[in-house]
Amino acid sequence: MQGNNGAAAGAIPLEVSTFLGGKGGRSLIVKGGAGTGKTTFGLELLERMGRPNQSFYLSTRVSDDALYRQFPWLRASELRTRILDAGKLFLDTLHARDKAVVQDLPEDQRAKITAARHVMQAITDERGPPTRVDRAQLNALLRRNPMPEVENCYNRIEAVLPEKALLVIDSLEGVTHKYGLEMEEFVMALQKDLVENSNTNVVMILEKPEAGGIEYLVDGLVSVVREELDERRVRHMRLEKLRATAIGQPRYAVTLAGGRFTALGPGTPASHPPAQSPQWGPEADPERFYSTGIGDFDALLGGGFRRGSYNAFEVDVNVGIDDYYLVLVPTFLNFLTQSRGITAVLAAGESPEKLRDTITRYCPPHIFDSRVRIADYTASESEESYIVPMARYGRDEATRAMTSAEKAVRGPEGKPFIEYTAFDTMESLMGDQVAIRLYFQGVQRTKLLGNLGIGLLKPGLLVSSEILNMMDSYFRIINIDNAPCIYGIRPRTTIYSISYDPTKGPPHAKLTPIL
């Protein structure tokens, strides 16, 4: 089964789309506590994986009107024709067409017809894909109680055979409780009739976090959980079992932003640029602000970084350089392409060459070389104009070298510039007290010149507690299930996933709230 233009991999975990897209029918149980996003996931599966007229959503928990209120995007979607409200189907006559033909007959004749269907099914299995739905298990359950909505699903699935159908049942408890069935026998009926014998994908949503021993009956099992991280809500999807499918990543962070289910993953690494990198077009700076180069981030900050402000980014231990460059590079580019410069003290692991290579994919090299100065405290000499080899200088010479570097980045117009400082480097080279003193001097200079100060902090630094209270904004960059994320301590924000903007491509970034 194929989704809409392959979009399934971006909205739901790739492993799940591969699992449901395999040959033959597959069964999947989705379990989780209340409010974890199971219903949203079921609807997203239909939108991304299901084809019109070949996929159906049987809701026993809420009416279709309630679904439209909770998920407004359904009204504009083809899903409207695929939602079956079990509460209405008792009065619905959709099932009567096929049902009346058989049920009005005497018992012995109905038995003969059922037996004939089994024979035809066996013949069909030998000749190719099924054209009739197997009802052997369902018929056994119907002898105890009529189930019009379930029969209707069977009828609709049969109408699309031999094409593959997708059925989402929300929820298993809703159906089994309504008809006094054991959950195990109902799951077995769906597995035998629809999945194994009728080429159908069946997704069953469970209203509780434990499957209660029915896991062995189905081909796949995933769970959705909700947790707290620094007093902020985070949801995860765990891939517990997907038969015959390699699970490359067993857990995904997910968001329900906009009433949609989206699995979050790593952004395209900056080390793997597209074949043709577009040149950066600068974002306009609002009055009294510097644009971050990221529209979502500007909105979060009320316009961007305030002019003359100093801003901290605390980076977790499992966050790579390419991850935090997703946030920093657009800001750097937005300065450089407006003839403004950058002075930098890079973090351990960063290198002047890597920063230049990253930036010059999106702006001319001569702009970087003329407007960027990187203080390299390990270099005693350099042939590159953008590297200031600080190891060769004493204190007075170092001061003069940095004064000359600042003059170069300001240019003849005396424009403001970015002061980017990695405090792990400063603390390791000079000790915490000197690093703190230099920070205070940098804050004063930033405010005096109207510059933009950006400080990079890593866990365990002694300087952190001293300088964080002086920062105008303070953000943390973390990794959640291989997805780089950011959230604000000052100002306080929810957690956002960081990724490349799919409409603009690298290095344009977007922030997606994790809700």
When mean pLDDT is compared across 116-120, 219-223, 333-337, 361-365, the lowest value belongs to: 116-120
Tell me: pLDDT of 109 over 50: yes
| pLDDT on residue 102 | 43
- The amino acid occupying position 42 is G
For residues 378 and 196, give the distance between their C-alpha atoms in angstroms, rounded to a whole number.
66
Q: Specify the pLDDT at position 114.
A: 57
Q: What is the pLDDT of residue 116?
A: 52
- Where b means 16+ CB within 10 Å and e means fewer, 79-90 reads beebbbbbbebe
Per-residue pLDDT band for 332 (boundaries 50, 70, 90) equals very high
What angle, 0 to 180 degrees and rounded to 10, lies between the N-to-C axes of helices 352-359 and 321-336?
60
Question: What is the fold, at CATH topology level, of the domain defined by 8-247+256-263?
Answer: Rossmann fold (3.40.50)
Alpha carbons within 13 A on the beta-carbon side of 82: 26
- From the list 207, 295, 211, 224, the residue with the least C-alpha distance to 263 is 224
User: Domain residues of the chain, as ranges?
Assistant: 8-247+256-263, 289-513
Band of the pLDDT at 217, cuts 50, 70, 90? very high
Instruction: State the chain's mean pLDDT as an integer.
Output: 83
Query: What is the rounded CA–CA span in Å between residue 202 and residue 208?
Result: 18
Q: Which of 3, 48, 43 is nearest to 170 (CA)?
A: 43
pLDDT at 126 over 60: no
pLDDT for the residue numbered 93:
34
CA 467 to chain centre: 33
Q: Check residue 271 and give its pLDDT.
A: 36
What's the predicted TM-score (pTM) here? 0.81
Identity (one letter) of the amino acid at 183? M
Q: Give pLDDT, residue 301.
A: 95
**Residues 213-223, mean pLDDT to the nearest whole number:** 92
In 230-356, at which residue ranges do the beta strands (DSSP E only) sit? 232-242, 251-255, 262-264, 289-290, 305-306, 310-315, 342-345
Token pair listed for 39: 């219903």
**What is the pLDDT, as a whole number, of residue 276?**
55
Q: Which two tokens stand for residue 351?
A: 């290198």
Q: Mean pLDDT, to the nearest integer, of 368-385?
A: 90
Does 289-513 match 8-247+256-263 at the fold level?
yes
Question: Spelled out in words, what is the top-level CATH class assigned to the domain 289-513?
Answer: alpha beta
Whether the Cβ atoms of residue 74 and residue 83 lie closer than 8 Å to each other: yes
Structure tokens of 424?
Answer: 């792990």
Asked if 358 contacts 325 with a C-beta cutoff of 8 angstroms, the reply is yes
pLDDT of 96 higher than 70: no
Q: Which of 227-236, 310-319, 385-394 has the lowest mean pLDDT?
A: 385-394
pLDDT tens per residue across span 24-51? 999 999 999 888 999 899 988 988 888 8
Local confidence band at 384 (pLDDT 50, 70, 90 cut-offs): very high
Closest to 191 (Cα-Cα) out of 207, 202, 182, 175: 202
State the DSSP code for 502.
Answer: T
The confidence score (pLDDT) of residue 213 equals 82
- What pLDDT sits at residue 224? 94
Q: How far apart are CA 503 and CA 272, in angstroms?
A: 18
Q: Which residues contact 202 (CB under 8 A, 6 or more apart)?
A: 25, 26, 27, 28, 166, 167, 168, 169, 190, 191, 194, 195
Inter-residue contact 16 to 242 (CB < 8 Å):
yes
Q: Tell me the pLDDT tens digit for each residue of 271-309.
A: 344 545 689 999 999 999 999 999 999 999 999 999 999
Q: Could you tell me the pLDDT band of residue 74, with boundaries at 50, 70 and 90?
A: low
The most confident of 166-180, 304-318, 369-383, by mean pLDDT: 304-318
The answer to whether residue 138 scores a pLDDT higher than 80 is yes
Highest-pLDDT range among 106-120, 188-202, 428-442: 188-202
Lowest mean pLDDT among 163-177, 256-270, 433-447, 452-466: 256-270
**CA–CA separation, 480 and 473 (whole Å):** 22
pLDDT at residue 64, rounded to an integer: 53
Position 392 scores a pLDDT of: 80
pLDDT of 363 strictly over 90: yes
The pLDDT of 228-248, averaged and rounded, is 94
Give the pLDDT score at 448: 84
The reported pLDDT for the residue numbered 470 is 81
**Range name among 93-102, 256-265, 299-308 with the lowest pLDDT average:** 93-102
Q: Give every strand in the sheet of 509-513, ordered side by side.
A: 387-389, 372-376, 342-345, 418-422, 452-457, 310-315, 473-480, 483-490, 495-500, 509-513
User: Residue 260: its pLDDT value, please?
Assistant: 87
- The answer to whether residue 134 scores a pLDDT higher than 80 is yes
Residue 70: pLDDT above 60?
A: no
The helix/strand/coil state of 177 is helix
Going by pLDDT thresholds of 50, 70 and 90, the confidence category of residue 106 is low
Q: What is the DSSP letter of 239?
A: E
Give the confidence band of 65 by pLDDT, cuts at 50, 70, 90: low
pLDDT above 80: residue 145? yes
Q: What letter would DSSP give residue 161?
A: T
* 460 conformational bin, left if phi > 0, alpha if psi -120 to 50, beta if neither: left
Angle in degrees, 0-180, between the axes of helices 148-160 and 96-103, rounded to the nearest 10 = 100
